Chains A and B, each alone.
Chain A
């Protein structure tokens, strides 16, 4: 197809979609970026979503849903603080419940954003450029949702600051052998580095917004945020170094954060918790669920904002492949638990596993296996399914459900029947448990929509690097009016 055929009528209009990227005849793969895009068209498309006084009605509708959820969260947390953790289902022996399950679930989701931003950058996977900004935003908001749980789930949340090592008048300090304290440092480091990495990544794009904004307030707002960025090559070089270093730091960080979260369980003595497979199993599971959530966000976003040229079937396909791989690591984890239940010749492990599968709460294990293994790991092999947008959206929901149940199985089924049969109990979630979970989903939605409306959701500067016009080559032909370079 000749280049001129692809020239869209008005490529920069937010309402004019670039219908997908199509398959590159040379490689047989879907293209990473749609054809016919220029530095200007990309800028106009993405800046056009933010720097406009008009907000789509759908945005308002979804934002009010998210806001309603956040209100429910506020009500539930207020009641929690007034009455105590007794309004939840936690009890003896299951002293941790939805709060910890949700905490691990949200943090796990966050890890995919960092993996996309950091690890895929280190591996020089250019396709990650389209999705890394909103994936990183997903991380930030997931960590916000996750981080509230350790604070609210304690019996006396107003004393939460005692987990910080500050010189107190009573001369007491935190106790550093506890995984919960390691969590404090891991999660706070993760939140800080994620925010910094995300913000630094947006500084050049804030420069773009500052320069293109017409509204005075927008000019000031983005002007401040851009820190006066002007695109100097010297600055860019240091910026690239800092980005690479932050990526190189974020990689061991993301591995360590979920490892530390897994230590919450692995360091305990409970059968079903006390196992060395947890660090890699948790990290793989986190990436599995995180990529699923990126898909859940990317698919509606690209449809609604007509970004099919920037987030293409190639991205969906690649994310499906990552999910397949991490899903198999998770399957290995499950398989090892089963194998070790027999091979260890430890009665504790054997009973724990039998109980997990066949006990009164065994239904949760079977939901887990269906959602995490049976459905995704048989279907994600097919490229046709991996590039089918509706199917991938369905899979993303299924995997996230499965990963929630994985944490449920780990937390609840190991606790409710442990060492002494006299203390065996059960766990039945209350409405407050559900309200807080649904509330965090609402809060996440609301925050994410604010991000989409006011911040650059796709990194324009990184996309520019991938366009054909960015290639340094021999002297161009004499200037003409056409901006399309092929």
Chain B
């Protein structure tokens, strides 16, 4: 696939999270949809402001956990009752009280791995390249002490000149064009 060309979006930089949240709320009110905030720590208000409400991580986790439970319990049962049943200490071959424990552990294991890797997958990570890393000020601040709002070119309202002016009204430290 040929590399994309042109503008990815416009990036506004802010010094405080309050400024970012104010700007994001206003942008959403004004009809912007393709946008994202970038912060060095989670700012829930910013996510809400851009309209992100629910995520699928809990569902992925639940499914993973149930799969783990079913997998281990049925494995234990199959091994002890069908595959090679043995008289162990006179106990019944279907020793479900004992089987609960590894099944419990695998519930947690599969749920936890699903949560972690599900989260990464839903986030699209790893994504070692992203156009935003081309912006000179992004790297210096996004993971340290600056807050960014990016209005993306894919949004129908996007226009390079007008959007730059619009962002200027939100009182940022700087506005930078991000190229692919």
Contact = CB atoms under 8 A, between A and B. Distances in A.
Contact between chain A and chain B defined by CB under 8 Å: yes
Interface of A: 38-40, 43, 165, 171-177, 181-182, 185-186, 188-189, 192-193, 196-197, 200, 203-204, 207-208, 210-212, 223-224, 227-242, 245-246, 249-250, 252-253, 256, 260, 263, 460-462, 464-465, 469-476, 479, 485
B42 interface: yes
B45 to A, nearest CB: 5
Nearest to A193: B112
A185 B105 contact: yes
Interface in B97-133: 98-99, 101-102, 104-106, 108-109, 111-113, 115-116, 118-120, 122-123, 125-130, 132-133
A97 to B, nearest CB: 25
Given A211-B142, A470-B17, A475-B18, A231 B38 contact: yes
Given A173-B84, A230-B133, A472 B43 contact: yes
Interface residues of B, number: 74
B46 to A, nearest CB: 5
A384 B127 CA distance: 51
A239 B42 contact: yes
A249 B111 contact: yes
B50 A233 contact: yes
B84 A185 contact: no
- Majority secondary structure of chain A interface residues (helix, strand, loop or mixed): helix
A122 to B, nearest CB: 14
B37 A232 contact: yes
Nearest to A229: B125
Contact of A39 (B22, B52, B115, B144): B144
Contacts of B43: 233, 236, 470, 472
B63 interface: no
Interface in B68-108: 72, 75-76, 79-80, 83-84, 86, 88-89, 91, 95, 98-99, 101-102, 104-106, 108
Given A39-B144, A208-B143, A238-B55, A176 B95 contact: yes
B36 interface: yes
A40 B83 CA distance: 61
Please indicate which of the listed interface residues B61, B91, B119 has the most CB atoms of chain A within 10 Å of its own CB: B119
B166 interface: no
B116 A461 contact: no
A249 B127 contact: no
B95 A177 contact: yes
Contacts of B83: 171, 173
Interface in B128-165: 128-130, 132-133, 138-140, 142-145, 148
